[in-house]
Amino acid sequence: MSIAIAIDGPAGAGKSTIARMAAKELGFIYVDTGALYRTIALACQRANVKTDNTLEVLAILDKTEVKLAFNEKNEQIVLLNNEDVSSLIRTPEISMMASSVSKIPQVRAFLLDLQRNMAKTNNVIMDGRDIGTVVLPDAKLKIFLFASPECRAKRRYDELIEKGMDIKYDDILQDVIDRDYADSHRDIAPLKPASDAIEVDTSDESLEESVNRLLAIMKEHI
Ligand code: DC
């Protein structure tokens, strides 16, 4: 039987960085489910479809195939109709559009089997918003990672500046606040800790401290 670890939490709490490092240490596959919603958003953007227009988004889904693959470094690659779009889905606009398409029940259903199948055949650390509550309710360990909005905005700002993007901290903070609100107030699979999740606040920790804390929790539970 494969082992699944679910990590949920708001954008910028450090989920992806921590999950990626922990997966490497444990020899698990790291699955970033946000990339799947981002890929649907990219398909909409390319077709000039507004993500609040459910019917048009559903028409896009009909023409869309999303697949996950792993490169030689065991890093996740996401394929939109067989094109590697992994680096095209990391813009602030796609972030907002992903949050918007993720409210549509058919979009969530469309991506569900893909996520569950990854966990059937591999030991995974899977990160997202509803992994512990919906996607993998029987996960061996569930972690809910969070940090203050200001702290998460600062981390995302630093990350994007390093990539050479021209952005303002205040805009990023507003995005974080708006996206938190949208993700935790939607009707379907809202962002919330599973009742059996361990809640971890990373606000006052360095990345290294968070990784070590999480690794200790994981090693204790698996
Ligand atoms: O983790 P991320 O920032 O890449 O996610 C992008 C958006 O996708 C996020 O605003 C909410 C949505 N999402 C979701 O609804 N469920 C998931 N399991 C992962 C992401």
In tens digits, the chain (222 residues) has pLDDT values of 899 999 999 988 989 999 999 999 999 999 999 999 999 999 999 999 999 999 999 999 999 999 999 999 889 999 999 999 999 999 989 999 999 999 999 999 999 999 999 999 999 999 999 999 999 999 999 999 999 999 999 988 998 899 898 999 999 999 899 989 988 998 988 999 999 999 999 998 998 999 999 999 999 999
Name the residue range of residue 28's domain: 4-221
**At which residue do the structure tokens 């490092």 appear?**
21
With the most atoms of ligand 1 within 8 angstroms of its CB, the residue from 31, 33, 45, 115 to mutate is: 33
Query: What is the pTM assigned to this prediction?
Result: 0.92
SS3 per-residue string spanning the chain? CCCEEEEECCCCCCHHHHHHHHHHHHCCEEEECHHHHHHHHHHHHHCCCCCCCHHHHHHHHHCCCEEEEECCCCCEEEEECCEECCCCCCCHHHHHHHHHHCCCHHHHHHHHHHHHHHHHHCCEEEEECCHHHHHCCCCCEEEEEECCHHHHHHHHHHHHHHCCCCCCHHHHHHHHHHHHHHHHHCCCCCCCCCCCCEEEECCCCCHHHHHHHHHHHHHHHC
Residue 9 maps to which CATH number? 3.40.50.300
Measured by CA distance, the residue closest to atom 12 of ligand 1 is 99
Count of the separate structural domains present in the chain: 1
Q: What is the pLDDT of residue 153?
A: 94
Residue nearest to atom 18 of ligand 1 (CA): 128
What span, in angstroms and rounded, lies between the C-alpha atoms of 112 and 83?
A: 21
Q: What is the per-residue pLDDT for 156? A: 87
